[in-house]
């Protein structure tokens, strides 16, 4: 008579890389500048500088949160594409400029998608069922 054994699948949970979100530190600094100019116009220089540092590091911390990391990653994509496209605008050749801009947008998009995956994948693995393996053992 055959017996059936249920074996739970034990897969490793993806561990976040805590250094990768620091790629969004530069966009955090750049996005803090218009906020400081708009909302902290009459304050002292030291307070503005402190707000900019706090905003930039909160920007990096939000990049580590599971679902909400989409917001700073999209904003980071806008900043990085704008920065690198301005360098590509210095080229005289039209088709080379357009090709380089497409490549820049693709590379920056993939990098920011990896940041979203780095933040969201451990959370998704805790939400999904790992499944079971059923084995038949003959006597």
Average of per-residue pLDDT across 19-45: 92
Could you tell me the pLDDT band of residue 7, with boundaries at 50, 70 and 90? confident
CA angle in degrees (0–180, nearest 5) for 21-122-80:
25
* 39-88: pLDDT as tens digits: 888 889 899 999 999 999 999 999 999 989 999 999 999 999 999 999 99
**The pLDDT value given to residue 136:** 83
pTM above 0.85, yes or no: no
Residue 95 has pLDDT above 80, yes or no: yes
* 96-128: pLDDT as tens digits: 999 999 999 999 999 999 999 999 988 888 887
15: left (phi over 0), alpha (psi -120 to 50) or beta: beta
What are the residue ranges spanned by the domains of the chain? 3-137
Start-to-end CA distance of the chain, whole Å, equals 6
**The pLDDT value given to residue 42:** 85
**The pLDDT value given to residue 16:** 87
CA distance 131 to 133: 7
**The pLDDT value given to residue 5:** 85
**The pLDDT value given to residue 63:** 94
């Amino acid at each position: 008579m055959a017996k059936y054994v249920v074996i739970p699948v034990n897969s490793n949970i993806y561990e976040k890389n805590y250094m990768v979100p620091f790629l969004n530190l530069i966009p955090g600094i750049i996005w803090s500048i218009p906020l400081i100019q708009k909302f902290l116009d009459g304050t002292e220089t030291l307070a503005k500088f402190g707000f900019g540092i706090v905003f930039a590091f909160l920007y990096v911390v939000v990049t580590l949160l599971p679902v909400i990391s989409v917001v700073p990653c999209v904003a980071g994509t806008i900043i990085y594409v704008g920065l690198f496209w301005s360098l590509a605008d210095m080229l005289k050749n039209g088709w080379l400029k357009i090709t380089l801009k497409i490549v820049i947008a693709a590379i920056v998009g993939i990098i920011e998608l990896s940041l979203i995956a780095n933040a969201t994948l451990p959370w998704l693995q805790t939400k999904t069922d790992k499944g079971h393996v059923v084995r038949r053992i003959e006597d």
